């Protein structure tokens, strides 16, 4: 067992940290307050290679391992989870699915520009009545011979407006239930696609989240990923990696809040001494640190399994569950340590707390993660 | 034109510095090492010039005098775009030893431009550039705040008290740069990080050297005195404190 990061991994971690601390920090509060999409940062991160981190360089990706991805996600998320979710969706949900399940033609046409970050992708699974119950897809992709005719609505779509490429999960054979679902690559500019308004969210306010409506949208047959009826399996497989991205994001939100609370506790004095000398604060920080370190190891373990081509579904569910719960707890306590200052935006921890909440909900709620974990441990 | 940027490798500038034993050596436990920020800016400007069409600068190399532990930090210079790196395998005692070792490398190879940062963030010697120029017999320019190269012609700006000099310089020369030379150091791209491994990092055995100096002891600065609040209406007390306690009047 080797707990040592390679020199390249440390350099990638430092590069993400430098970008976050030099650039993201400059406008994170304004973008959060006004829900401004971080176009400048997405472009810069693409130029640095963060938008297609794990894609094979032969498809213009950076060819990194999953540990490096976890490290980068943590560092970006310490400062700005709105940006890191854009990175996560493009990497884990879109590039991964195309590289793993796409044909050579699909990779040439769609994966290359996505891996370079010239185009951004979105993953369309959730529906108004299909969130955690992903098998209940109502969006129809009717087989019309050489194309699919798509009708329906998708909800809570990260990058809904900024994306040029959608990976759409839709039902083709309702009688076959989840075995009738397909995954389709959809050009965002296809006639018949319309967007709902920008969702006015509690946190992650700088990422664009929309409903996407499909009305008689024609999708060429060659845009289907995998065999007919493979869509649900593809989606679940893709979400295993997606969960790891969000676990790393939650880890970053937690460690960002912890670092701010630790710094504040060394500066702020009460009752004649710095507040970290008070046991009530010191123990909170110790507990934060313990939970964060455990979460980091869970993320590394899931990433290592993925890099070894070993099953990592339960490991990524464990990482996401633990890190999301840790993020919520740590950010709440970080606000508490900051007292009144924690409740104002200038000190960042209230924003991190709002961002943490979403990690318990999206890409599989904490309850769904517990379902995955419990099913696995009962089956042993 | 071949350019050589001299790199010092120093503790991260946020490090809490501690000393060991008899306060005569730095405690390196847990220190994160970085490229000296001034040298990083020198490298940034050198790379910018190399990328400008028609500058005449075709190659940017970096050199460091230090032991193997420095290699990961040197890799960062390669990751941001340096073409090649040299490390003289020696732990120098002072700026003169650094300059002597680099001078030997310069004498054996051909360079047109050697650039150093004005200061290192650890020992703050501000000496290597000048010493190096003397040792190789080249012109030395210090306090350079602007550097451009066009068709192999070097134009410099030097800042001194309320005065800016613009100088046309001939190569070869040694330039010691200061603030303003480049905006921000570069963040390496992921591709740059991976290709750094494929670029040459040549380890050179040191020339014979006899340190002329030895550090006897370090002394930590006195802890900051506490802040005293004076009522705005009590100017007499403020003057008294400044005169008799702070001794600044």
Cβ(A162)–Cβ(A37) under 8 Å?
A: yes
The domain covering A7-120 belongs, at the CATH homologous superfamily level, to Acyl-CoA dehydrogenase/oxidase, N-terminal domain (1.10.540.10)
CB < 8 Å to B196, chain A: 11
Instruction: Choose among B76, B184, B191: nearest Cβ to A11.
Output: B76
d(CA A333, CA A264): 13
Residue B240 resides in a domain: no
E strand or H helix at B11, and its extent? strand B9-11
Measured between its terminal Cα atoms, the distance across chain B in Å is: 55
Average of per-residue pLDDT across A14-23: 97
pLDDT at A133: 79
For A122-228, CATH gives 2.40.110.10
CB contact under 8 A, B79 and A53: no
Instruction: Choose among B72, B188, B191: nearest Cβ to A7.
Output: B72
Tell which phi-psi region holds residue A159, choosing left (phi > 0), alpha (psi between -120 and 50) or beta.
left
Q: Is the dihedral of CA B43, B47, B52, B54 positive or negative?
A: positive
Residue B76 resides in a domain: yes
Tokens of residue A24, six digits: 């993201």
B13 touches chain A (CB under 8 A): no
pLDDT at B183: 83
B44 touches chain A (CB under 8 A): no
pLDDT tens digits, one per residue of A197-256: 999 999 999 999 999 999 999 999 999 999 999 999 999 999 999 999 999 999 999 999
**What's phi and psi for A170, nearest 5 deg?**
-150, 155
Name the CATH topology of A233-379.
Answer: Butyryl-CoA Dehydrogenase, subunit A; domain 3 (1.20.140)
pLDDT at A136: 85
| B residues 150-209 closer than 8 Å to A (CB) | 184, 187-191, 193-194, 196-197
Tokens of residue A233, six digits: 């399996």
Residue B118 resides in a domain: yes
Q: Give chain B's domain count.
A: 1
**What's phi and psi for A342, nearest 5 deg?**
-70, -20
Cβ(A48)–Cβ(A15) under 8 Å?
A: yes
pLDDT tens digits, one per residue of B72-93: 999 999 999 999 999 999 999 9
d(CA A231, CA A150): 14
pLDDT tens digits, one per residue of A160-213: 999 999 999 999 999 999 999 999 999 999 999 999 999 999 999 999 999 999
> Residues with Cβ < 8 Å from B124, sequence gap 6 or more?
none
Residue B101 resides in a domain: yes
Give SS3 for A89. helix
- For chains A and B, CB pairs below 8 A equal 43
Cβ(B117)–Cβ(B41) under 8 Å?
A: yes
Beta-ladder partners of B164: B159
Instruction: Provide the residue ranges of all domains of chain A, joining segments of one domain with +.
Output: 7-120, 122-228, 233-379
State how far the alpha carbon of B165 is from the alpha carbons of B38, B41, B146, B158, B171, in Å. 21, 21, 10, 5, 18
pLDDT band for position B249 (cuts 50, 70, 90): confident
pLDDT band for position B159 (cuts 50, 70, 90): confident
Domain at B172, CATH number: 3.40.50.620
Q: Pick the residue from chain A with its C-alpha nearest to B77.
A: A11
Q: In which domain, by residue range, is B15 found? A: 2-219
> Residues with Cβ < 8 Å from A194, sequence gap 6 or more?
A212, A213, A215
Residue B29 resides in a domain: yes
pTM, whole model, 2 decimals? Answer: 0.92
């Amino acid at each position: 067992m080797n707990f040592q990061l390679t020199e390249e991994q440390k350099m990638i971690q430092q590069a993400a940290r430098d970008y976050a601390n030099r650039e993201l920090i400059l406008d994170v509060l304004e973008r959060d307050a006004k829900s401004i999409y971080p176009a400048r940062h997405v472009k810069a991160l693409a130029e640095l290679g963060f938008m297609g981190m794990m894609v094979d360089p032969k498809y213009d990706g950076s060819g990194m391992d999953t540990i490096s991805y976890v490290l980068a996600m943590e560092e970006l998320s310490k400062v700005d989870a709105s940006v890191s979710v854009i990175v996560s969706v493009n990497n884990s949900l879109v590039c991964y699915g195309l590289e793993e399940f796409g044909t050579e033609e699909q990779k040439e046409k769609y994966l290359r520009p996505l891996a370079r970050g010239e185009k951004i992708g979105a993953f369309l699974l959730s529906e108004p009545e299909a969130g955690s119950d992903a098998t209940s897809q109502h969006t129809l992709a009717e087989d019309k011979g050489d194309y699919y005719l798509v009708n329906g609505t998708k909800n809570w779509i990260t990058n809904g407006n900024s994306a040029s490429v959608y990976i759409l999960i839709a039902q083709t054979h309702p009688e076959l239930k989840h075995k009738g679902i397909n995954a389709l690559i959809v050009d965002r500019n296809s006639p018949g696609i319309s967007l709902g308004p920008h969702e006015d969210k509690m946190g992650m306010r700088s990422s664009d989240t929309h409903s996407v409506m499909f009305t008689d949208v024609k999708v060429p047959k060659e845009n289907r990923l995998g065999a007919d009826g493979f869509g649900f399996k593809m989606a679940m497989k893709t979400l295993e990696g997606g969960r790891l991205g969000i676990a790393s994001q939650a880890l970053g939100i937690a460690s960002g809040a912890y670092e701010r609370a630790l710094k504040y506790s060394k500066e702020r004095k009460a009752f004649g001494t710095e507040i970290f000398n008070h046991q009530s604060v010191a123990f909170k920080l110790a507990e934060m640190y313990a939970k964060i370190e455990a979460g980091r190891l869970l993320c590394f373990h899931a990433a290592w399994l993925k890099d070894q081509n070993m099953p990592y579904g339960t490991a990524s569910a464990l990482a996401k569950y633990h890190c999301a719960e840790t993020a919520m707890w740590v950010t709440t306590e970080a606000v508490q340590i900051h007292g009144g200052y924690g409740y104002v935006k200038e000190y960042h921890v209230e924003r991190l707390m709002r961002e943490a909440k979403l990690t318990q909900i999206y890409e599989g709620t904490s309850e769904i993660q517990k379902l995955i974990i419990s099913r696995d441990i009962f089956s042993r | 034109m071949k350019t050589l940027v001299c790199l010092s490798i120093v503790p991260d500038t946020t490090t809490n510095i501690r000393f060991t034993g008899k306060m005569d050596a730095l405690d390196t436990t847990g220190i994160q090492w970085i490229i000296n920020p001034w040298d990083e800016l020198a490298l940034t400007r050198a790379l910018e010039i190399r990328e400008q069409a028609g500058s005449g600068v075709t190659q940017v190399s970096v050199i460091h005098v230090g032991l193997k532990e420095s290699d990961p930090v040197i890799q960062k210079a390669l990751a941001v775009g340096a073409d090649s790196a040299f490390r003289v395998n020696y732990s120098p005692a002072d700026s003169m030893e650094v300059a002597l070792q680099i001078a030997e490398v310069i004498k054996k190879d051909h360079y047109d431009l050697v650039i150093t940062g004005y200061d290192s963030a650890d020992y703050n010697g501000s000496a290597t550039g000048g010493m190096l120029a003397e040792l190789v017999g080249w012109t030395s320019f210090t306090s350079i705040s602007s550097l451009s190269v066009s068709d192999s012609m070097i134009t410099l700006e030097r800042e001194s008290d309320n005065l800016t000099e613009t100088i046309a310089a001939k190569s070869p020369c040694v330039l010691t740069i200061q603030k303003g030379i480049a905006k921000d150091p570069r963040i390496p791209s992921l591709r740059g990080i991976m290709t750094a491994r494929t670029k040459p990092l040549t380890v050179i055995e040191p020339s014979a050297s006899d340190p002329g100096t030895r550090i006897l002891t370090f002394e930590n600065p006195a802890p900051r005195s506490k802040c005293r609040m004076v009522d705005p209406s009590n100017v007499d007390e403020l003057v008294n404190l400044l005169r008799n306690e702070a001794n600044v009047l």
